[in-house]
Structure 1
Amino acid sequence: MENRKCKQIKIQVRFLTKLIFILSPIFSFGQCFEKNIAFQEGELITYSVSYNWGFLWVNAGEAYFKVDSTIYNGRKAYFIDSYGTTFKEYDWIFKVRDRYQAIVDKETLRPLKFSRDVYEGGLKIDEKYVYDYSKNLIYSDIEKSKEPRITDTLKLSPCTFDVLSMIYFARNLDFSKYKVGDKIPISLIIDNSVYDLYIRYQGKEIVETRTGQKFPCIKFTPLLVEGTIFSGGEEMTAWVTDDDNKIPIFIEANILVGYIKVYISGLKGLRNKGSKK
Protein backbone atom coordinates (compact mmCIF):
# COMPACT_ATOMS: atom_id res chain seq x y z
CA MET A 1 0.00 0.00 0.00
CA GLU A 2 2.84 2.37 0.89
CA ASN A 3 4.56 1.69 -2.46
CA ARG A 4 1.34 2.52 -4.26
CA LYS A 5 1.07 5.84 -2.40
CA CYS A 6 4.66 6.75 -3.30
CA LYS A 7 3.94 5.88 -6.94
CA GLN A 8 0.91 8.18 -6.91
CA ILE A 9 2.95 11.06 -5.49
CA LYS A 10 5.71 10.50 -8.07
CA ILE A 11 3.23 10.66 -10.93
CA GLN A 12 1.68 13.80 -9.49
CA VAL A 13 4.87 15.78 -9.01
CA ARG A 14 6.27 14.79 -12.39
CA PHE A 15 3.05 16.22 -13.74
CA LEU A 16 3.56 19.52 -11.90
CA THR A 17 4.89 21.74 -14.65
CA LYS A 18 3.87 19.49 -17.53
CA LEU A 19 0.29 20.31 -16.63
CA ILE A 20 0.97 24.01 -16.73
CA PHE A 21 2.61 23.71 -20.12
CA ILE A 22 -0.22 21.61 -21.48
CA LEU A 23 -1.95 24.98 -21.26
CA SER A 24 -0.70 25.46 -24.80
CA PRO A 25 -3.36 23.14 -26.28
CA ILE A 26 -6.16 25.14 -24.68
CA PHE A 27 -5.46 27.80 -27.29
CA SER A 28 -5.42 27.86 -31.08
CA PHE A 29 -5.26 30.38 -33.88
CA GLY A 30 -6.47 31.18 -37.37
CA GLN A 31 -3.41 33.08 -38.51
CA CYS A 32 0.21 32.69 -37.52
CA PHE A 33 1.17 36.00 -36.03
CA GLU A 34 -0.66 38.61 -33.99
CA LYS A 35 0.00 42.01 -32.46
CA ASN A 36 0.36 41.68 -28.70
CA ILE A 37 -2.46 43.22 -26.66
CA ALA A 38 -2.61 40.65 -23.82
CA PHE A 39 0.62 40.86 -21.80
CA GLN A 40 3.59 43.10 -21.09
CA GLU A 41 7.03 43.24 -19.51
CA GLY A 42 6.73 42.79 -15.75
CA GLU A 43 3.79 40.38 -15.78
CA LEU A 44 4.03 37.60 -13.16
CA ILE A 45 1.50 34.76 -12.72
CA THR A 46 1.82 32.08 -10.04
CA TYR A 47 0.03 28.73 -9.58
CA SER A 48 -0.38 26.05 -6.92
CA VAL A 49 -0.94 22.37 -7.74
CA SER A 50 -3.05 19.94 -5.70
CA TYR A 51 -3.32 16.17 -6.05
CA ASN A 52 -6.12 13.89 -4.88
CA TRP A 53 -4.51 11.18 -2.77
CA GLY A 54 -7.29 8.81 -1.73
CA PHE A 55 -9.62 10.93 0.41
CA LEU A 56 -7.06 13.72 0.81
CA TRP A 57 -6.01 16.69 -1.30
CA VAL A 58 -2.24 17.30 -1.13
CA ASN A 59 -0.66 20.65 -2.06
CA ALA A 60 2.52 19.31 -3.67
CA GLY A 61 4.09 22.19 -5.59
CA GLU A 62 3.99 25.56 -7.30
CA ALA A 63 4.98 27.27 -10.56
CA TYR A 64 5.37 30.79 -11.94
CA PHE A 65 5.42 32.54 -15.34
CA LYS A 66 7.33 35.82 -15.77
CA VAL A 67 7.75 38.20 -18.74
CA ASP A 68 10.74 40.49 -19.37
CA SER A 69 12.17 42.34 -22.38
CA THR A 70 15.38 41.49 -24.22
CA ILE A 71 17.24 41.96 -27.52
CA TYR A 72 17.77 38.86 -29.67
CA ASN A 73 19.85 39.04 -32.87
CA GLY A 74 19.22 42.78 -32.99
CA ARG A 75 15.44 42.52 -32.60
CA LYS A 76 13.27 43.57 -29.69
CA ALA A 77 11.86 40.49 -28.01
CA TYR A 78 10.09 39.17 -24.93
CA PHE A 79 11.96 36.82 -22.61
CA ILE A 80 9.50 34.43 -20.93
CA ASP A 81 10.67 32.46 -17.91
CA SER A 82 8.74 29.74 -16.10
CA TYR A 83 9.81 27.65 -13.13
CA GLY A 84 8.11 24.79 -11.32
CA THR A 85 9.13 22.99 -8.14
CA THR A 86 7.90 20.49 -5.61
CA PHE A 87 7.82 21.66 -2.03
CA LYS A 88 10.89 20.55 -0.07
CA GLU A 89 8.90 18.23 2.16
CA TYR A 90 8.18 16.11 -0.95
CA ASP A 91 11.72 16.13 -2.37
CA TRP A 92 12.63 12.91 -0.54
CA ILE A 93 9.90 11.14 -2.50
CA PHE A 94 10.36 12.72 -5.93
CA LYS A 95 12.29 15.96 -6.43
CA VAL A 96 11.23 18.29 -9.26
CA ARG A 97 12.99 21.44 -10.45
CA ASP A 98 11.75 22.44 -13.92
CA ARG A 99 12.64 25.58 -15.88
CA TYR A 100 11.18 26.54 -19.27
CA GLN A 101 12.30 29.66 -21.17
CA ALA A 102 11.32 31.19 -24.49
CA ILE A 103 12.27 34.23 -26.55
CA VAL A 104 9.54 35.56 -28.86
CA ASP A 105 9.58 38.44 -31.33
CA LYS A 106 7.99 41.53 -29.81
CA GLU A 107 6.27 42.59 -33.02
CA THR A 108 4.94 39.28 -34.36
CA LEU A 109 5.13 37.01 -31.26
CA ARG A 110 6.69 34.26 -33.37
CA PRO A 111 9.08 32.00 -31.40
CA LEU A 112 12.82 32.59 -31.77
CA LYS A 113 14.38 30.33 -29.14
CA PHE A 114 13.19 27.82 -26.55
CA SER A 115 14.86 25.88 -23.74
CA ARG A 116 13.66 23.28 -21.27
CA ASP A 117 15.94 22.39 -18.35
CA VAL A 118 14.27 19.92 -15.99
CA TYR A 119 15.16 17.61 -13.12
CA GLU A 120 12.50 15.05 -12.20
CA GLY A 121 13.27 12.32 -9.69
CA GLY A 122 16.83 11.84 -10.94
CA LEU A 123 15.98 12.28 -14.63
CA LYS A 124 17.72 15.30 -16.19
CA ILE A 125 16.51 16.75 -19.51
CA ASP A 126 18.07 19.66 -21.39
CA GLU A 127 16.09 20.53 -24.53
CA LYS A 128 16.74 23.48 -26.87
CA TYR A 129 15.19 24.78 -30.10
CA VAL A 130 16.41 27.64 -32.31
CA TYR A 131 14.08 28.87 -35.07
CA ASP A 132 15.62 29.92 -38.43
CA TYR A 133 12.95 31.67 -40.49
CA SER A 134 15.33 32.49 -43.35
CA LYS A 135 15.70 28.75 -44.04
CA ASN A 136 12.41 27.53 -42.52
CA LEU A 137 14.26 25.22 -40.14
CA ILE A 138 14.32 24.42 -36.42
CA TYR A 139 17.63 23.35 -34.88
CA SER A 140 17.17 21.04 -31.91
CA ASP A 141 19.64 19.94 -29.24
CA ILE A 142 18.43 17.43 -26.63
CA GLU A 143 20.26 15.73 -23.77
CA LYS A 144 18.70 13.22 -21.37
CA SER A 145 20.18 11.26 -18.48
CA LYS A 146 21.91 8.06 -19.64
CA GLU A 147 20.94 8.67 -23.28
CA PRO A 148 23.04 9.86 -26.24
CA ARG A 149 22.82 13.56 -27.08
CA ILE A 150 20.55 14.32 -30.05
CA THR A 151 21.14 17.20 -32.46
CA ASP A 152 18.65 17.48 -35.29
CA THR A 153 17.24 19.80 -37.94
CA LEU A 154 13.46 19.90 -38.32
CA LYS A 155 11.25 21.54 -40.91
CA LEU A 156 9.73 24.80 -39.68
CA SER A 157 6.14 24.68 -40.90
CA PRO A 158 3.84 27.72 -40.68
CA CYS A 159 2.32 28.26 -37.24
CA THR A 160 4.65 25.90 -35.37
CA PHE A 161 5.14 26.79 -31.71
CA ASP A 162 6.80 25.32 -28.66
CA VAL A 163 4.70 24.92 -25.52
CA LEU A 164 5.68 28.23 -23.93
CA SER A 165 5.58 30.58 -26.92
CA MET A 166 2.19 29.17 -27.97
CA ILE A 167 0.61 30.10 -24.64
CA TYR A 168 1.61 33.74 -24.92
CA PHE A 169 0.83 34.02 -28.62
CA ALA A 170 -2.62 32.52 -28.21
CA ARG A 171 -3.56 34.85 -25.37
CA ASN A 172 -4.05 37.50 -28.05
CA LEU A 173 -6.69 35.65 -30.05
CA ASP A 174 -10.42 36.28 -30.41
CA PHE A 175 -12.43 33.20 -29.42
CA SER A 176 -15.85 34.75 -29.96
CA LYS A 177 -16.12 33.19 -33.44
CA TYR A 178 -16.32 29.63 -32.07
CA LYS A 179 -19.46 27.67 -31.21
CA VAL A 180 -19.84 25.22 -28.32
CA GLY A 181 -18.44 21.86 -29.44
CA ASP A 182 -16.14 23.27 -32.13
CA LYS A 183 -12.79 21.51 -32.55
CA ILE A 184 -9.85 23.84 -33.18
CA PRO A 185 -6.61 22.31 -34.61
CA ILE A 186 -3.18 23.18 -33.21
CA SER A 187 0.46 22.33 -33.97
CA LEU A 188 2.93 21.81 -31.12
CA ILE A 189 6.63 20.86 -31.03
CA ILE A 190 7.94 18.96 -28.01
CA ASP A 191 10.46 16.13 -27.51
CA ASN A 192 11.79 16.70 -31.05
CA SER A 193 8.40 15.90 -32.60
CA VAL A 194 5.50 17.96 -33.93
CA TYR A 195 2.00 16.94 -32.79
CA ASP A 196 -1.28 17.78 -34.51
CA LEU A 197 -3.81 18.19 -31.71
CA TYR A 198 -7.06 20.05 -31.11
CA ILE A 199 -9.08 21.73 -28.41
CA ARG A 200 -12.85 21.60 -28.03
CA TYR A 201 -14.59 24.86 -27.13
CA GLN A 202 -17.07 24.25 -24.29
CA GLY A 203 -18.61 27.69 -23.80
CA LYS A 204 -18.37 30.17 -20.92
CA GLU A 205 -18.68 29.89 -17.14
CA ILE A 206 -18.05 31.90 -13.98
CA VAL A 207 -15.09 30.49 -11.99
CA GLU A 208 -14.47 31.29 -8.33
CA THR A 209 -10.87 31.14 -7.08
CA ARG A 210 -9.70 29.94 -3.68
CA THR A 211 -9.66 33.56 -2.47
CA GLY A 212 -13.31 34.06 -3.44
CA GLN A 213 -12.69 36.14 -6.57
CA LYS A 214 -15.02 35.38 -9.48
CA PHE A 215 -13.96 35.52 -13.13
CA PRO A 216 -16.01 35.15 -16.34
CA CYS A 217 -14.09 32.41 -18.18
CA ILE A 218 -13.82 30.54 -21.46
CA LYS A 219 -13.93 26.75 -21.01
CA PHE A 220 -11.96 24.20 -23.08
CA THR A 221 -11.16 20.49 -23.21
CA PRO A 222 -7.89 19.77 -25.08
CA LEU A 223 -6.97 16.52 -26.79
CA LEU A 224 -3.97 15.18 -24.86
CA VAL A 225 -0.99 13.16 -26.08
CA GLU A 226 -0.95 9.60 -24.76
CA GLY A 227 2.09 8.92 -22.59
CA THR A 228 3.34 8.32 -19.06
CA ILE A 229 0.95 10.84 -17.52
CA PHE A 230 -2.23 10.71 -19.63
CA SER A 231 -4.08 7.85 -21.27
CA GLY A 232 -4.91 10.24 -24.11
CA GLY A 233 -8.22 11.81 -25.08
CA GLU A 234 -10.11 14.74 -23.59
CA GLU A 235 -9.13 14.14 -19.97
CA MET A 236 -8.47 17.77 -19.03
CA THR A 237 -10.68 20.84 -18.61
CA ALA A 238 -9.30 24.38 -18.44
CA TRP A 239 -10.78 27.83 -17.83
CA VAL A 240 -9.17 31.12 -19.03
CA THR A 241 -10.41 34.65 -18.35
CA ASP A 242 -12.87 35.98 -20.90
CA ASP A 243 -11.10 39.32 -21.30
CA ASP A 244 -8.12 40.84 -23.12
CA ASN A 245 -5.63 39.14 -20.77
CA LYS A 246 -6.74 35.50 -21.39
CA ILE A 247 -5.23 34.33 -18.08
CA PRO A 248 -5.51 30.58 -17.29
CA ILE A 249 -7.40 30.57 -13.98
CA PHE A 250 -8.18 26.93 -13.16
CA ILE A 251 -7.40 23.47 -14.59
CA GLU A 252 -8.52 19.99 -13.58
CA ALA A 253 -7.50 16.68 -15.12
CA ASN A 254 -7.56 12.92 -14.74
CA ILE A 255 -4.12 11.31 -14.91
CA LEU A 256 -3.15 7.65 -15.02
CA VAL A 257 -3.26 7.45 -11.23
CA GLY A 258 -5.29 10.13 -9.49
CA TYR A 259 -6.73 13.54 -10.14
CA ILE A 260 -5.13 16.99 -10.44
CA LYS A 261 -6.30 20.55 -9.78
CA VAL A 262 -4.27 23.65 -10.64
CA TYR A 263 -5.21 26.98 -9.04
CA ILE A 264 -4.03 30.46 -9.85
CA SER A 265 -2.40 31.93 -6.73
CA GLY A 266 -1.13 35.33 -7.83
CA LEU A 267 -1.37 37.99 -10.56
CA LYS A 268 0.94 40.97 -11.02
CA GLY A 269 1.73 43.44 -13.79
CA LEU A 270 -1.26 42.70 -16.04
CA ARG A 271 -1.48 44.73 -19.23
CA ASN A 272 -5.26 45.16 -19.15
CA LYS A 273 -7.85 45.68 -16.47
CA GLY A 274 -9.22 42.29 -15.44
CA SER A 275 -12.79 41.08 -15.70
CA LYS A 276 -13.49 40.02 -12.12
CA LYS A 277 -17.21 39.85 -11.40
Structure 2
Amino acid sequence: MKKTYIIGCLFFLLTSAYGQGYQLSKETPFQPGEKIELKASVGFIRAAEATFSVSDVIYTINNKPTWKIDINAKTVGVFDFFSSVRDNWGTYYDTTQLVPQQFYRYIKEGRFRKNEILYFDHKNDKVTVAKLHKETRRLEKTFEHNIPHNVQDMVSGYYYLRAIDFSKIKEGEVITINTFFDDKEKPFKVKFVGREVIDTKYGNIKAIVLVPMMKKDSLFVEDNTLKVWLSDDLNKIPLKFQAKIYVGYLSVELLNIENLKHPLAIVE
Protein backbone atom coordinates (compact mmCIF):
# COMPACT_ATOMS: atom_id res chain seq x y z
CA MET A 1 0.00 0.00 0.00
CA LYS A 2 1.35 3.42 -0.92
CA LYS A 3 2.52 5.61 1.95
CA THR A 4 0.11 8.39 0.99
CA TYR A 5 -3.08 6.33 1.16
CA ILE A 6 -4.12 6.53 4.82
CA ILE A 7 -3.28 10.22 5.35
CA GLY A 8 -3.86 11.30 1.75
CA CYS A 9 -7.20 9.54 1.71
CA LEU A 10 -8.22 11.39 4.85
CA PHE A 11 -7.36 14.78 3.34
CA PHE A 12 -8.94 14.06 -0.01
CA LEU A 13 -12.16 12.77 1.44
CA LEU A 14 -12.52 15.63 3.88
CA THR A 15 -11.91 18.26 1.28
CA SER A 16 -13.45 16.71 -1.79
CA ALA A 17 -17.05 17.66 -1.05
CA TYR A 18 -16.83 21.33 -1.81
CA GLY A 19 -18.76 23.16 -4.46
CA GLN A 20 -19.20 26.60 -5.94
CA GLY A 21 -22.43 28.53 -6.25
CA TYR A 22 -24.38 26.80 -3.48
CA GLN A 23 -26.50 28.75 -1.02
CA LEU A 24 -24.46 29.40 2.10
CA SER A 25 -25.47 29.72 5.75
CA LYS A 26 -25.80 33.26 7.04
CA GLU A 27 -23.26 32.62 9.81
CA THR A 28 -19.61 31.66 9.40
CA PRO A 29 -19.20 28.01 10.49
CA PHE A 30 -15.83 28.43 12.23
CA GLN A 31 -13.69 31.01 13.95
CA PRO A 32 -10.00 31.76 14.58
CA GLY A 33 -8.52 29.36 17.11
CA GLU A 34 -10.68 26.39 16.18
CA LYS A 35 -8.92 23.03 16.46
CA ILE A 36 -10.19 19.60 15.42
CA GLU A 37 -8.26 16.38 16.10
CA LEU A 38 -9.00 13.06 14.39
CA LYS A 39 -7.67 9.54 14.73
CA ALA A 40 -7.54 6.95 11.94
CA SER A 41 -7.54 3.19 12.44
CA VAL A 42 -7.36 0.16 10.19
CA GLY A 43 -9.31 -2.55 11.93
CA PHE A 44 -8.30 -2.34 15.59
CA ILE A 45 -4.87 -0.86 14.82
CA ARG A 46 -4.33 2.86 15.36
CA ALA A 47 -2.81 4.16 12.11
CA ALA A 48 -2.66 7.96 12.07
CA GLU A 49 -3.65 11.25 13.62
CA ALA A 50 -4.58 14.56 12.01
CA THR A 51 -5.17 18.06 13.32
CA PHE A 52 -7.21 20.78 11.59
CA SER A 53 -6.44 24.22 13.00
CA VAL A 54 -7.44 27.80 12.22
CA SER A 55 -4.87 30.42 13.22
CA ASP A 56 -5.75 33.09 15.77
CA VAL A 57 -4.29 35.70 13.40
CA ILE A 58 -5.85 37.15 10.24
CA TYR A 59 -3.23 37.36 7.47
CA THR A 60 -3.19 39.64 4.44
CA ILE A 61 -2.50 37.80 1.15
CA ASN A 62 -3.04 39.48 -2.25
CA ASN A 63 -4.38 42.45 -0.29
CA LYS A 64 -7.14 40.21 1.05
CA PRO A 65 -7.84 39.26 4.68
CA THR A 66 -7.38 35.51 5.08
CA TRP A 67 -7.61 32.76 7.65
CA LYS A 68 -4.48 30.58 7.82
CA ILE A 69 -5.73 27.01 8.04
CA ASP A 70 -3.43 24.02 8.53
CA ILE A 71 -3.82 20.27 8.44
CA ASN A 72 -1.00 18.38 10.11
CA ALA A 73 -0.95 14.61 9.94
CA LYS A 74 1.29 11.80 11.08
CA THR A 75 1.29 8.04 11.27
CA VAL A 76 1.51 6.37 14.67
CA GLY A 77 2.41 2.98 16.12
CA VAL A 78 3.13 0.15 13.72
CA PHE A 79 2.20 2.28 10.70
CA ASP A 80 4.76 4.87 11.73
CA PHE A 81 7.47 2.20 11.99
CA PHE A 82 6.86 0.76 8.54
CA SER A 83 5.58 3.82 6.67
CA SER A 84 6.29 7.10 8.46
CA VAL A 85 4.26 10.16 7.41
CA ARG A 86 4.71 13.77 8.49
CA ASP A 87 2.56 16.02 6.30
CA ASN A 88 1.50 19.65 6.45
CA TRP A 89 -1.19 20.98 4.11
CA GLY A 90 -2.34 24.58 4.42
CA THR A 91 -4.28 27.42 2.87
CA TYR A 92 -4.73 31.14 3.21
CA TYR A 93 -8.49 31.30 2.86
CA ASP A 94 -10.16 34.58 1.88
CA THR A 95 -12.50 35.66 4.70
CA THR A 96 -14.89 37.49 2.36
CA GLN A 97 -14.84 35.60 -0.96
CA LEU A 98 -14.34 32.09 0.53
CA VAL A 99 -11.63 31.15 -1.98
CA PRO A 100 -7.97 30.27 -1.41
CA GLN A 101 -5.41 32.99 -2.04
CA GLN A 102 -2.50 30.65 -1.45
CA PHE A 103 -2.06 26.91 -0.84
CA TYR A 104 0.98 24.93 0.30
CA ARG A 105 1.89 21.37 1.07
CA TYR A 106 5.02 19.94 2.61
CA ILE A 107 5.01 16.17 2.26
CA LYS A 108 7.35 13.82 4.10
CA GLU A 109 6.41 10.17 3.65
CA GLY A 110 9.23 7.70 4.16
CA ARG A 111 11.90 8.75 1.68
CA PHE A 112 9.39 10.59 -0.49
CA ARG A 113 9.34 14.39 -0.34
CA LYS A 114 7.15 16.92 -2.14
CA ASN A 115 7.00 20.65 -1.41
CA GLU A 116 5.00 23.22 -3.35
CA ILE A 117 3.12 26.50 -3.06
CA LEU A 118 0.15 27.59 -5.20
CA TYR A 119 -0.46 31.29 -5.78
CA PHE A 120 -4.03 31.96 -6.89
CA ASP A 121 -5.09 34.84 -9.14
CA HIS A 122 -8.88 34.61 -9.09
CA LYS A 123 -9.32 37.86 -10.98
CA ASN A 124 -7.67 36.31 -14.05
CA ASP A 125 -8.60 32.68 -13.24
CA LYS A 126 -4.98 31.54 -13.06
CA VAL A 127 -2.72 29.81 -10.58
CA THR A 128 1.07 29.76 -10.37
CA VAL A 129 2.51 26.53 -8.98
CA ALA A 130 5.93 26.88 -7.35
CA LYS A 131 7.85 23.61 -7.10
CA LEU A 132 10.30 23.62 -4.20
CA HIS A 133 13.40 21.55 -3.49
CA LYS A 134 12.49 18.38 -1.63
CA GLU A 135 14.86 19.15 1.26
CA THR A 136 15.75 22.87 1.33
CA ARG A 137 12.37 24.12 0.01
CA ARG A 138 14.16 26.54 -2.27
CA LEU A 139 12.31 27.48 -5.45
CA GLU A 140 13.22 25.21 -8.39
CA LYS A 141 10.62 26.02 -11.08
CA THR A 142 7.17 27.50 -11.61
CA PHE A 143 4.22 26.67 -13.85
CA GLU A 144 1.12 28.71 -14.66
CA HIS A 145 -2.29 27.12 -15.23
CA ASN A 146 -5.77 28.30 -16.10
CA ILE A 147 -8.33 27.48 -13.43
CA PRO A 148 -12.14 27.50 -13.12
CA HIS A 149 -13.65 30.56 -11.51
CA ASN A 150 -13.58 30.41 -7.71
CA VAL A 151 -11.81 27.05 -7.66
CA GLN A 152 -10.92 25.60 -4.26
CA ASP A 153 -7.81 23.81 -3.05
CA MET A 154 -7.46 20.62 -1.02
CA VAL A 155 -7.87 22.37 2.33
CA SER A 156 -10.10 25.37 1.63
CA GLY A 157 -12.70 23.12 0.04
CA TYR A 158 -13.73 21.47 3.29
CA TYR A 159 -14.14 24.85 4.96
CA TYR A 160 -16.29 26.01 2.05
CA LEU A 161 -18.38 22.87 2.42
CA ARG A 162 -19.02 23.76 6.04
CA ALA A 163 -20.61 27.02 4.90
CA ILE A 164 -23.16 25.34 2.60
CA ASP A 165 -26.76 25.45 3.83
CA PHE A 166 -27.72 21.78 3.69
CA SER A 167 -31.35 22.59 4.37
CA LYS A 168 -31.38 23.63 0.70
CA ILE A 169 -29.79 20.36 -0.49
CA LYS A 170 -32.19 17.52 -1.31
CA GLU A 171 -31.55 13.96 -0.19
CA GLY A 172 -29.93 12.07 -3.05
CA GLU A 173 -28.60 15.27 -4.66
CA VAL A 174 -25.07 15.12 -6.05
CA ILE A 175 -22.87 18.13 -5.39
CA THR A 176 -20.45 18.72 -8.25
CA ILE A 177 -17.30 20.57 -7.30
CA ASN A 178 -14.27 22.21 -8.94
CA THR A 179 -10.84 21.50 -7.49
CA PHE A 180 -7.26 22.18 -8.48
CA PHE A 181 -4.72 19.59 -7.39
CA ASP A 182 -1.58 17.98 -8.80
CA ASP A 183 -1.31 20.62 -11.55
CA LYS A 184 -4.75 20.14 -13.00
CA GLU A 185 -8.46 20.66 -12.52
CA LYS A 186 -10.09 17.70 -10.83
CA PRO A 187 -13.89 17.83 -10.80
CA PHE A 188 -15.42 15.71 -8.07
CA LYS A 189 -18.90 14.62 -7.08
CA VAL A 190 -20.34 13.77 -3.70
CA LYS A 191 -23.85 12.59 -2.86
CA PHE A 192 -25.89 13.80 0.10
CA VAL A 193 -27.55 10.56 1.23
CA GLY A 194 -29.39 11.67 4.35
CA ARG A 195 -29.15 12.27 8.07
CA GLU A 196 -28.37 10.03 11.04
CA VAL A 197 -27.59 10.25 14.73
CA ILE A 198 -24.20 8.77 15.60
CA ASP A 199 -22.44 8.00 18.86
CA THR A 200 -19.26 10.00 19.60
CA LYS A 201 -17.11 10.72 22.65
CA TYR A 202 -19.14 13.93 22.97
CA GLY A 203 -22.45 12.07 22.98
CA ASN A 204 -25.04 11.29 20.32
CA ILE A 205 -24.82 13.92 17.59
CA LYS A 206 -27.04 14.60 14.60
CA ALA A 207 -25.07 14.09 11.39
CA ILE A 208 -25.17 14.78 7.67
CA VAL A 209 -24.16 11.68 5.68
CA LEU A 210 -22.16 12.08 2.45
CA VAL A 211 -20.84 9.54 -0.04
CA PRO A 212 -18.08 10.69 -2.40
CA MET A 213 -18.54 9.26 -5.89
CA MET A 214 -15.31 7.26 -6.21
CA LYS A 215 -14.40 4.24 -8.31
CA LYS A 216 -12.66 1.27 -6.73
CA ASP A 217 -8.89 1.41 -7.07
CA SER A 218 -5.75 0.09 -5.39
CA LEU A 219 -7.12 1.26 -2.02
CA PHE A 220 -10.91 0.91 -2.15
CA VAL A 221 -12.37 -2.50 -2.88
CA GLU A 222 -15.77 -1.20 -4.08
CA ASP A 223 -17.21 1.83 -5.86
CA ASN A 224 -18.48 4.57 -3.54
CA THR A 225 -17.48 2.61 -0.44
CA LEU A 226 -16.65 5.65 1.66
CA LYS A 227 -19.17 7.29 4.00
CA VAL A 228 -18.58 10.63 5.70
CA TRP A 229 -20.51 11.98 8.70
CA LEU A 230 -20.45 15.73 9.43
CA SER A 231 -22.23 17.35 12.37
CA ASP A 232 -25.69 18.51 11.30
CA ASP A 233 -25.34 22.02 12.71
CA LEU A 234 -23.64 25.28 11.75
CA ASN A 235 -20.20 23.81 12.53
CA LYS A 236 -20.32 20.78 10.18
CA ILE A 237 -17.22 19.29 11.73
CA PRO A 238 -16.07 15.78 10.75
CA LEU A 239 -17.42 13.16 13.14
CA LYS A 240 -16.62 9.91 11.37
CA PHE A 241 -15.36 8.30 8.14
CA GLN A 242 -15.66 4.66 7.19
CA ALA A 243 -14.55 2.67 4.15
CA LYS A 244 -13.73 -0.88 3.16
CA ILE A 245 -10.16 -1.13 1.90
CA TYR A 246 -8.02 -4.06 0.83
CA VAL A 247 -6.31 -4.46 4.20
CA GLY A 248 -9.51 -4.17 6.25
CA TYR A 249 -11.77 -1.32 7.31
CA LEU A 250 -10.56 2.26 7.48
CA SER A 251 -12.21 4.21 10.27
CA VAL A 252 -11.63 7.86 11.16
CA GLU A 253 -13.18 9.28 14.32
CA LEU A 254 -13.30 12.57 16.18
CA LEU A 255 -10.72 12.69 18.97
CA ASN A 256 -10.88 16.24 20.31
CA ILE A 257 -12.37 19.67 19.50
CA GLU A 258 -11.54 23.15 20.76
CA ASN A 259 -13.05 26.60 20.31
CA LEU A 260 -16.04 25.74 18.12
CA LYS A 261 -18.08 28.76 17.10
CA HIS A 262 -21.49 27.08 17.41
CA PRO A 263 -23.04 24.43 19.69
CA LEU A 264 -22.89 20.84 18.49
CA ALA A 265 -26.16 19.14 17.50
CA ILE A 266 -26.10 16.84 20.53
CA VAL A 267 -29.19 14.75 21.12
CA GLU A 268 -30.13 15.01 24.79
Q: TM-score, normalised by structure 1?
A: 0.85
CA apart distance, 1:17: 4.3
Equivalent residue number for residue 179 of structure 2 = 188
Q: Contact between 1:17 and 1:98, CA under 8 Å: does it hold in 2?
A: no
CA apart distance, 1:36: 5.7
Equivalent residue number for residue 116 of structure 1 = 105
**Secondary structure at the residue paired with 1:26?**
coil
Question: Aligned to 1:42, which of 33, 47, 63?
Answer: 33
Equivalent residue number for residue 177 of structure 1 = 168
Counterpart mapping for 1:15-54 below 5 A: 15-31=6-22, 37-52=28-43
User: Are 1:245 and 2:235 an aligned pair?
Assistant: yes
Q: Map Cα deviations across residues 149-204 of structure 1 (whole Å, 9 max, x no partner).
A: 66321112123111101111121111122222221211111111211221111110
Q: Contact between 2:147 and 2:180, CA under 8 Å: does it hold in 1?
A: no
Q: Contact between 1:29 and 1:173, CA under 8 Å: does it hold in 2?
A: no
Output the amino acid matched with 2:97: T
Looking at structure 2, the residues matched to 32 and 151 of structure 1 have their Cα atoms a distance apart, in angstroms, of: 35
Q: TM-score, normalised by structure 2?
A: 0.88
Equivalent residue number for residue 4 of structure 1 = none
CA apart distance, 1:257: 3.5
Equivalent residue number for residue 131 of structure 1 = 120
Equivalent residue number for residue 51 of structure 2 = 64
Question: Aligned to 2:156, which of 157, 165, 171?
Answer: 165
Looking at structure 2, the residues matched to 225 and 115 of structure 1 have their Cα atoms a distance apart, in angstroms, of: 27
Query: Which ranges of structure 1 fall in alignment gaps of 5 or more residues?
Result: 1-6
Q: Contact between 2:52 and 2:70, CA under 8 Å: does it hold in 1?
A: yes
Query: Which ranges of structure 2 fall in alignment gaps of 5 or more residues?
Result: 135-139
Output the amino acid matched with 2:213: L
**Secondary structure at the residue paired with 2:168?**
coil
Looking at structure 1, the residues matched to 165 and 126 of structure 2 have their Cα atoms a distance apart, in angstroms, of: 29
Question: Aligned to 2:73, which of 81, 84, 89?
Answer: 84
Taking only the aligned residue pairs, the percentage that are identical comes to 26
Give the number of equivalent residue pairs: 261
**Secondary structure at the residue paired with 2:87?**
strand
**Secondary structure at the residue paired with 1:161?**
coil
Looking at structure 1, the residues matched to 250 and 257 of structure 2 have their Cα atoms a distance apart, in angstroms, of: 21
CA apart distance, 1:31: 4.2
**Secondary structure at the residue paired with 2:90?**
strand
**Secondary structure at the residue paired with 1:39?**
coil
**Secondary structure at the residue paired with 2:235?**
coil
Q: Which segments of structure 1 move beyond 4 Å, counting only runs of 4 or more? A: 31-36, 225-228
Output the amino acid matched with 1:220: L
The answer to which of 187-196 and 225-234 deviates more is 225-234
Looking at structure 1, the residues matched to 190 and 114 of structure 2 have their Cα atoms a distance apart, in angstroms, of: 28
Q: Contact between 2:24 and 2:165, CA under 8 Å: does it hold in 1?
A: no
Q: Quick one: structure 1 residues 133 and 159, their matched pair in 2 at CA, closer, same or farther if it must change by over 3 Å?
A: closer
**Secondary structure at the residue paired with 1:240?**
strand
* Aligned-CA RMSD value: 2.5
Q: Quick one: structure 1 residues 36 and 130, their matched pair in 2 at CA, closer, same or farther if it must change by over 3 Å?
A: farther
Question: Aligned to 2:251, which of 235, 240, 261?
Answer: 261
Looking at structure 2, the residues matched to 265 and 14 of structure 1 have their Cα atoms a distance apart, in angstroms, of: 20
Q: Contact between 1:15 and 1:229, CA under 8 Å: does it hold in 2?
A: no
**Secondary structure at the residue paired with 1:108?**
coil
Output the amino acid matched with 1:163: M
Equivalent residue number for residue 90 of structure 2 = 101
Looking at structure 2, the residues matched to 158 and 33 of structure 1 have their Cα atoms a distance apart, in angstroms, of: 17
CA apart distance, 1:232: 7.5
